[in-house]
């Protein structure tokens, strides 16, 4: 990869502020006079129907199930919304949720995009993974190589950030020690926890 897009289109949601700022920096690193409208296109959310449809598919097949599960824990008194309870759920279930979502994404990228009427001029057909890595002849690549001094600065700014670290190391260590000290084997057969945590108990060694 190693490229950034010529233009990004999005709505004006708060979650795109960092994306917009990064796009401006990358585009104007070597072309400081480039106007905003040639870098970033802001429109209404109704223009994002395809990605919103994809999010609905993700929710319907994956995340909605987890939301209902956690709502059940709250209803039954196992979750009070506090920071400690949130950290506990992250510790127990985050890796599993990520695996489920990543599996959904991989499956989506392997499916075949069917030919659609009146869309042939902009919508290619085929497997997304194959189309991305081996585009058909005649396709234009509008990706641009970033200015290396800027990229080095960006890498330096985020060097200490790890996307996989959702809890401090100290918190994870504390939770692991608690699991070693407390007998929680009865929870593994509880009907309240049918999603099953990511940890299993070894009766012979007495460890998690």
Residue 27: other Cβ atoms inside 10 A: 23
Note the pTM of the prediction, 2 decimals: 0.69
Q: According to the model, what pLDDT value does residue 147 have?
A: 92
Rg (CA), the chain: 23
Per-10-residue mean pLDDT, the chain, length 208:
86 84 92 93 74 82 89 92 93 91 90 80 82 84 90 87 86 88 60 47 46
pLDDT of residue 60: 83
The predicted pLDDT at position 26 comes to 93
Helix (H, G, I), strand (E, B) or coil at 86: helix
- Judge whether 11 and 44 are in contact, CB under 8 Å: yes
Query: How confident is the model at residue 187, as a pLDDT?
Result: 55
Task: Single out the residue of 10, 1, 4, 11 nearest to residue 29, CA to CA.
Answer: 4
In this prediction, residue 171 carries a pLDDT of 93
pLDDT at 198: 45
The confidence score (pLDDT) of residue 39 equals 93
């Amino acid at each position: 990869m190693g490229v950034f897009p010529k233009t990004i289109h999005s709505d004006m949601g708060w979650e795109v502020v960092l994306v917009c700022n990064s796009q401006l920096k990358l585009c104007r690193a070597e072309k400081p006079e480039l106007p905003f409208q040639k870098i970033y296109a802001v429109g209404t959310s109704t223009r994002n129907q395809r990605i919103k449809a994809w999010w609905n598919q993700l929710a319907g097949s994956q995340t909605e199930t987890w939301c209902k599960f956690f709502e059940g824990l709250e209803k039954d008194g196992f979750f009070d919304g506090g920071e400690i309870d949130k950290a506990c759920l992250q510790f127990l279930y985050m890796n599993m949720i990520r695996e489920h979502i990543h599996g959904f994404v991989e499956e989506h990228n392997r499916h075949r995009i069917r030919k659609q009427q009146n869309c042939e001029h902009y919508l290619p057909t085929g497997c997304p993974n194959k189309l991305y890595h081996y585009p058909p002849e005649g396709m234009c690549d509008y990706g641009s190589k970033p200015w290396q001094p800027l990229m080095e600065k960006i890498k330096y700014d985020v060097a200490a950030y790890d996307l996989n670290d959702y809890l401090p190391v100290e918190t994870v260590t504390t939770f692991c020690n608690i699991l070693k000290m407390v007998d929680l084997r009865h929870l593994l057969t509880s009907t309240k926890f049918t999603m099953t945590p990511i940890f299993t108990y070894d009766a012979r060694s007495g460890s998690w």
